[in-house]
Structure 1
Amino acid sequence: MDDTHTFRDGDSSPGFSRDSQLVQSRFKSDLLKKFQCLYEGTAKQGNPTLLNEIYTELYITESKSGEINNEHEVRQIETQSRRAATEDTPIKCSDIFRPLPGQDKPIRTVLTKGVAGIGKTVSVQKFIVDWAEGKENQDIQLIFPLPFREINLKKDKTLSLSDLLHVFFPETKEMEISSDEHKVLFIFDGLDECRLSLNFKSKVKLCDISAPASVDELLVNLIVGNLLPSSLIWITSRPAAADLVPAECVHRVTEVRGFNDPQKEEYFRKRISDQSLANTIITHLKSSRSLHIMCHIPVFCWISATVLEEMLSEAERGEIPKSLTQMYTHFLIIQTNSKHEKDYKKRVKDEDMILKLGKLAFQQLVKGNLIFYEEDLSECGIDVTEASVYSGLCTQIFREELGLYQGKVFCFVHLSIQEHLAALYAHIYFTYKNRNVFDKTKQGFFSKIVYQKTDFSSFELHQRAVDEALQSKNGHLDLFLRFLLGFSLESNQTLLRVLLTQTGRCSYNKERTVQLITQKIREINSPERSINLFHCLNELGDDSLMKEIQHYLTSGEIRKTKLSSSQWSALVYVLLTSEQKMDVFELKHFIGAQNTADEVLQKLLPVVKESRSVQLGDCGVTEEGCAALTSALRSNPSHLRELDLSENKVGDSGVKQLSDLLQDPHCKLEKLWLWDCGVTEEGCAALTSVLRSNPSHLRELNLYGNNLRDSDVKPLSDLKEDPHYKLEKLWF
């Protein structure tokens, strides 16, 4: 082995030979060429823009462990939209391997999670570009980006890690990489797309990078640190797949939360050169809460910019989109029109292609797939060359420069586009064939068999779709349902006729569907579960229930009114989607003669979880209410800063529940008021034990008015005097 080609681990300025320096320089140059341009929405097509010209810093924070999150990703975005401006410490993309102040352990493996389209891959791209340009992380000698969608194509191969790198990065043939002499970074982008059997319990241990093994064994040994233990590992994933890598193998979990409100505006001002037009677009998006929330997703910002820039910069072209259905349908029209500007031979009608894509979208959505292959397209009658023409809708991912000729991978630009096309397919399936897309039939939509129309109503389709969406554990049909109901509006049907000549005609009974959804809201026990149904009402243009609640709020009659279950759900929806941040929640504003404090608290827990200061003083909260409160707060312990339970008889049982919450390392509660709460020596001891064993962020603790002796509180007083603890104020 020639030592002149060896990089010494930990040496930020390795003593390369001249040949080695040339190899590394060429390697950096190649990566820069590959990653310096951003193709918004597509992988290879579209107008390339230099990444650094449009890149907007994303909101990235340290997260809890990489536990699985099965909520629909739009639900997660709606939750995160209320947290993006919190006091959580943001982490710059370039700093993900650098410990935060107070952290002294080295970070080798980072798992970055975030919903589809939130900016994970662009963050990877930015990291690589900054490194290749010599701006950041120059202690790293080599970066190997290995997206899972490309590694999948090697899943049945047996080869060594060295061989694998030679396939993806031919330049490495000129390097000698030993197991402990390089500081390199491996980036595995898209864990959720992994088709390998990552068995972390496998007893196969590989320490030699020249030893042949299956690709999944290579990756597992690399991640756990058997292979190249001095290397850094960066894995990105959607939340639903975040637990595929065991927590003990990960040193830091970060979360990409997309754009906060200032970053949204920054993006549009960078993306649109006409600043007056950019301001108009920003103002319009702010006028629709549902659209503004979605702008936390960078891909949705791109979709909105594409639609609104064209509509607002030209002559009057109809109603400016105010709902998701309108926005995505306009986007579909624009992408179809842009296809006509390309030089290609038209071999398929637009509407046939759109419906075939819709069938693909629906079939894969039901299966839970975002990534699909040629056989999936063929099953829907789609020719690969035809699909590539629709660059804004169906993206062909084919990394020819990496020498991967074995197959092609396809995906829609974003999950929401797949859901929109799936809903369009269901809508046309009904209007054109008078059939329910959820009925399992042997013959598909494009069968030449002529179906005899049945007496099937639009209401039955809506009813079935609502039931299917509510039965889903992870809500994967929620956005599909919004789009499907949105298509029932005549204004959206008129818009569709721009795309499709044979959409069919049907009479939708909007009032009956609204009644159905309202009834479902009434029946659902969880206010959180009903949030999507209110978005459905918004797509249908019905806001009567929300206006009713808003009237109660503004008039002050909320405490005098006995709310129905649907009205409670509407209240939660109004409070959570209000433009005003629910920073302070005061329970007394919602308690009337008709409801107990525990009942009201239980109904409004989704709002409580998103509040930074929770004021429950003198409201009649009992141990039962305190137990429900702390259980809810455990799901989001890092948000709450102040909790006032004064003059409620929560007793020692409630205090023990709160002690468990304080024990969570992610809890950032700073002020806890338990004045006159029935706390005894037992409850005080529980608090002392937690604060002593797990120093928390608690700075103020009020135990005044409880039956406590000086000896009961002395251990807490001692903590207050100890500089190792943050407790500054103690009342008793």
Structure 2
Amino acid sequence: SKRMLLVGNAGMGKSCISKEFLRTWAEGKNDHYRCIIYLTFQELNLIEQEISVKELLEEKCEFLFSVLTLENPDDLLIILDGLDEFKYDLNFDNQSSRNDVDTPFPISVLISKLITKDLLPAINVMVTTRWNFVSNLEKYFTFVCVIKGFDDQQIKQYFDHFCEDQSESIYDFIKKNNLSDFASVPLYSFMLRQIIKNHVTSKKALKNLKTSSRFMIQFLKSCLGNNVKDRRRFHIKEPATEKNMEDSVRQLGEISYKNLLSGQLTVNANDLKKHGLSEKDLTKKFSCFFHKKHPDGKHFEYRHTMIKEMFAAFYCAHVVRDDELKECLDAWVRGIIPPSAKSKLLSDVTADHKLLLENFTRLFMGFLSIGNSSSLHDDRGTLKGPIKKNLIEWFQDWLQEDLSSDDFLNLLHYVFELQDSDVAQSVSVYIKNIILFNKPLGAIDVQALCFSLKENKLEKLNLTLCELGDKGMEQLRDIITNSITRNLLRWCLLVGFFCIKLSSAFKPRSLCTSVEIRLSSNKLSEKGGATLSEILQDPKCAIEKLIIGTNHLGPVGAKHLWKALEKNSILKTLHVYDNDIEDEGTATMVE
């Protein structure tokens, strides 16, 4: 039996993959499992009383518990989708002596016991979550699968499938405007399709889709603008002006912010009424953002967690005062709750909300300039002077802490979402070391690094186990070049030919203390060996230690390296273990 963890950033398609597992099984096309049970943490959040495994399964389906009697338990897979949406903390410290299917537990304990194999150890369990919830969990799982998003070919296939008539023009637009990194996220590809389909967003705004927040706000504007356009076309007389829409967005934002803090995953009809909204508003004006009424008749479901975060962030960016900004960010990001907060936004915030609010805070940063605009449809929003000053001071204060890799990456994303060169420059001078060890970086993460640090001269850059790939390395060329001491690039999963001319990344030796380059486990081929040979022969090369074990250099790659060693007098240590260089390559190196 296996415990599997499926990890991906927001919008990567974790739920879609889970449901595809379920669909193929239901259609009899899944040969691996005789039964798949799909449970969302949204469902599990509704369980407030203690419950046993037997009761949980029977609540899902009256006869479902019988699957636990399968002759081969390995034929059963339970999918637990959306751990990042779970409103309870996992509890791995429960020492209950009973771990049978009939014993009731608090739902947080039951899920924890399923993960640790204290319950149902013989069956398979797959859990999906965002990256920021993985810490301290990996040890309980047989393996961790990372969703990296679409490559260029898959982006084209997506639009070929859904926009057959416009596919070529959309794909050309994506390439021309450097939107491939965002289109690699399935949710953003869906949004881009809707934005273009609605014909509401201006060409200038389309070309300005540089951040997650700008993608989200253009999706919001596009859907609302299309709704207004349709109503005017059909001569609907009820008020449907942009002003009314914006008021409704803010009211939904207030509800969504409260839901975000409380862990509530649906919008309640009673809350709508309290805020001057109706069920009709959601079904007619906001159908792009909410599913139809929940089976209980009183709730509407967000189509995606990011929709809730978007509305909440837009509301907070609109109502936060300049003098409240720093205390709000301290609470949301650092878990520092002031004893007597100025802002009403913090009345229900606790230190435990920190993980839940990471993506919300990224969107909030991007919406700050829009919050200053007089209209939602104004694309000219900029940061006001007082807000900019407060942000710079807050970032500088946060950088006094010893930040974890997760916090550091979030900081870079916050600067990136602001898209303000003054803030980026003022903050980057305080950043000397970046340690992102074992932190897989997606395409948008790399963009955040590039924007936030483009003027920076780092003293230490550790990108070990970051899964950059060729494209990520190319994007980070300037940052690596500007680093004045050591770059650790081991295990970056550079698939195929290591095409970057890394010689441009190395300063003359007089500027470096000791340069050590680690490129183990990167699938480097003989072409990679040729490129490394060119680098080592460059007079400016200051590499003293090169570790390129566990690659695919082969005997030809070894010959390329031998040619370099004839001319290089700086390199002192070379590791080429596990490279299939065979007897021929070994003889060449020995010679």
* Fold shared, TM-score > 0.5 on shorter chain: yes
Distance 1:318 1:720 in 2: 50
The 1:639/1:164 distance shift into structure 2, 3 A limit, reads: same
- Equivalents in 2 of 1:652, 1:566: separation in Å? 21
| Superposition map of 1:338-349 within 5 A | none
Match for residue 294 of structure 1?
182
Letter in 2 for 1:250: F
- Residues 12-55 of structure 1, C-alpha deviation per residue, up to 9 Å, x if partnerless? xxxxxxxxxxxxxxxxxxxxxxxxxxxxxxxxxxxxxxxxxxxx
> Following superposition of structure 1 onto structure 2, how do residues 309-348 of structure 1 map, counting pairs within 5 Å?
309-311=197-199, 321-323=206-208, 324=214, 325-335=217-227
User: 1:636-660: CA deviations, max 9, x gaps?
Assistant: 73248475589965999846x546x
CA separation of 1:649/1:350 partners in 2, compared to 1, >3 Å: closer, same or farther?
A: closer
1:128 aligns with 2:16: no
2:98 and 2:368 mapped to 1: Cα distance?
Answer: 51
Task: Give 2:366's aligned amino acid.
Answer: R
CA RMSD of aligned residues (A): 6.1
Q: Are the structure 2 counterparts of residues 335 and 190 from structure 1 closer, same or farther at C-alpha, using a change threshold of 3 Å?
A: farther
Aligned residue number for residue 37 of structure 1:
none
Which residue in the other structure is 1:16 paired with? none
Q: What pairs up with 1:692-707 in 2 under 5 angstroms? A: 695=550, 700=558, 703-704=565-566
Structure 1 residue 144 displacement after superposition: 0.3
**Residue in 1 that maps onto 2:438:** none
Q: Which residue of 2 aligns with 1:15?
A: none
CA distance in 2 between partners of 1:717 and 1:333 (Å):
59
CA contact (8 A) 1:110 1:250 kept: yes
Q: Aligned-pair distance for 1:263? A: 2.1
The residue type equivalent to 2:207 in the other structure is: K
2:260 is the alignment partner of 1:354: no
Paired residue total: 502
Q: 1:170 Cα shift? A: 2.0
Aligned twin of 1:22: none
Name 2:112's counterpart in structure 1: 220
Assess if the C-alpha contact under 8 Å between 2:317 and 2:364 holds in 1.
no
Return the alpha-carbon distance in structure 1 between the equivalents of residues 590 and 509 of structure 2.
18
The DSSP-based 3-state class of the residue aligned with 1:118 is coil
Contact 2:81 2:127 in 1 (8 A): yes
- Contact conserved, 2:4 with 2:142, CA < 8 A, in 1? yes
Alignment partner of 2:28: what SS? coil
1-structure distance, mates of 2:54, 2:188:
39
Counterparts of 2:82 and 2:391, CA distance in 1:
39
Paired residue for 1:485, among 369, 375, 381? 369
SS of residue paired to 1:158 = coil
Contact between 1:612 and 1:639, CA under 8 Å: does it hold in 2? Answer: no
Aligned equivalents of 1:438 and 1:333: distance in 2? 30
Task: Name the SS of the counterpart of 1:170 in structure 2.
Answer: coil
Distance in 1, Cα, partners of 2:364 & 2:176: 23
Does 2:147 correspond to 1:147? no
* Offset of residue 254 of structure 1: 1.4
The Cα of 1:283 is off from its aligned counterpart by 3.4
Partner of 1:260: 151
2:5–2:143: 8 Å Cα contact kept in structure 1? yes
| Matched-pair contact (CA < 8 Å) for 2:50–2:107 | yes
Q: Deviations over 1:472-510 (max 9, x none)?
A: 9957534333334246678xx38369xxxxxxxxx9888
Shift of 1:152: 1.6
Contact 1:698 / 1:727 at 8 angstroms: preserved in 2? no
Q: CA deviation at 1:141?
A: 0.9
2:310 paired residue among 419, 438, 442: 419
Is the Cα contact below 8 Å between 1:191 and 1:242 reproduced in 2?
no
Match of 2:12 in 1: 118
Distance 1:386 1:725 in 2: 76
Decide whether the 8 Å contact of 2:361 with 2:414 is kept in 1.
no
2:121 is paired with a residue whose SS is coil
Q: Distance in 1 between matches of 2:266 and 2:361?
A: 19
SS in 1 for 2:134: helix
Contact 1:205 1:221 survives alignment (8 Å): no
1:637 alignment partner in structure 2? 492
Structure 1 residues 163, 358: CA separation in 2 closer, same or farther (over 3 Å shift)? closer
- 1:264-663 superposed matches below 5 A: 264-273=155-164, 275=165, 277-289=166-178, 291-311=179-199, 321-323=206-208, 324=214, 325-335=217-227, 350-361=245-256, 371=265, 374=268, 377=271, 381=275, 385=279, 388-389=282-283, 390-392=285-287, 394-395=289-290, 400=295, 408=299, 410-411=301-302, 413=304, 415=306, 418-419=309-310, 422-423=313-314, 426-427=317-318, 429=319, 438=325, 476-486=360-370, 493=375, 495=377, 536-537=418-419, 599=457, 610-611=472-473, 625-627=484-486, 629-630=487-488, 633=489, 637-639=492-494, 641=498, 649=509, 654=514, 657-658=516-517, 662=520
- Would you say 1:191 and 2:191 are equivalent positions? no
Letter aligned with residue 248 of structure 2: M
Distance in 2 between residues matched to 1:243 and 1:380, nearest whole Å: 39
Contact 2:38–2:79 (8 Å) recurs in 1:
yes
Q: Are the aligned partners of 2:51 and 2:107 in contact in 1 as well (CA < 8 Å)?
A: yes
- Does the 8 A contact of 2:81 with 2:129 survive in 1? yes
| Paired AA for residue 125 in structure 1 | K
CA–CA distance in 1 between the matches of 2:88 and 2:74? 26
Q: Secondary structure at the match of 2:473?
A: coil
| Whole-Å separation in 2 of the counterparts to 1:439 and 1:520 | 9
Counterpart CA distance in 2 for 1:130 and 1:280 is 33
Q: 1:237 aligns with which of 129, 134, 138?
A: 129
1:157 alignment partner in structure 2: 50
Structure 2: distance between partners of 1:408 and 1:728: 72
Q: Name the counterpart of 2:339.
A: none
The alpha carbon displacement at 1:418 in A equals 3.7
If you compute each CA radius of gyration, which structure gives the higher value, 1 or 2?
1
Letter in 1 for 2:194: T
Could you report, residue by residue, the CA deviation over 1:268-295 in whole angstroms, capped at 9, with x for unpaired residues?
232235x1x3433333444433x55322
Q: Give the TM-score, by structure 1 length.
A: 0.52
Alpha-carbon distance in 2 for matches of 1:175, 1:566: 56
**Residue identity matched to 1:272:** C
Report deviation, 1:196: 3.4
Q: CA deviation at 1:169?
A: 1.9
Q: Distance in 2 between matches of 1:356 and 1:388?
A: 12
Q: Are 2:140 and 1:249 equivalent residues in the alignment? A: yes
The SS at the match of 2:472 is coil
User: For the structure 1 residues 120 and 185, does the alpha-carbon distance in structure 2 shift closer, same or farther, using more than 3 Å as the test?
Assistant: same
Q: Distance in 1 between matches of 2:169 and 2:578?
A: 55
* Rounded Cα–Cα distance in structure 2 between residues aligned with 1:225 and 1:284: 49
Query: Equivalent residues in 2 for 1:174-189 (5 A)?
Result: 177=69, 181=73, 183-189=75-81
1:227–1:279 CA distance, 2 compared to 1 (3 A): same
| Cα distance change on mapping 1:529 and 1:488 into 2, 3 Å | same
Q: Is contact 2:231–2:240 with CA below 8 Å preserved after alignment?
A: no
Q: Distance in 2 between matches of 1:652 and 1:284?
A: 43
Instruction: Summarize the Cα distance change of 1:299–1:613 in structure 2 as closer, same or farther, 3 Å threshold.
Output: closer
Query: How far apart, in 1, do the equivalents of 2:142 and 2:25 lie?
Result: 22
* Deviation of the 1:150 alpha carbon: 0.3
Q: 1:235–1:288: structure 2 CA closer, same or farther, 3 Å change rule?
A: same
Deviations 1:318-351 (A, max 9, x none): 977433344532223235667999x9x9999655
User: Is the alpha carbon distance of 1:351 and 1:678 closer, same or farther for their aligned partners in structure 2, counting shifts above 3 Å?
Assistant: closer
SS at match of 1:134: coil
**Offset at 1:190?**
0.3
Q: How many Å apart are 1:387 and its aligned residue?
A: 6.3
Listed one character per residue, the Cα deviations across residues 432-453 of structure 1 (whole Å, up to 9, x for unaligned) are xx99885999xxxxxxxxxxxx
Task: For residue 269 of structure 1, give the secondary structure of its aligned residue in structure 2.
Answer: helix
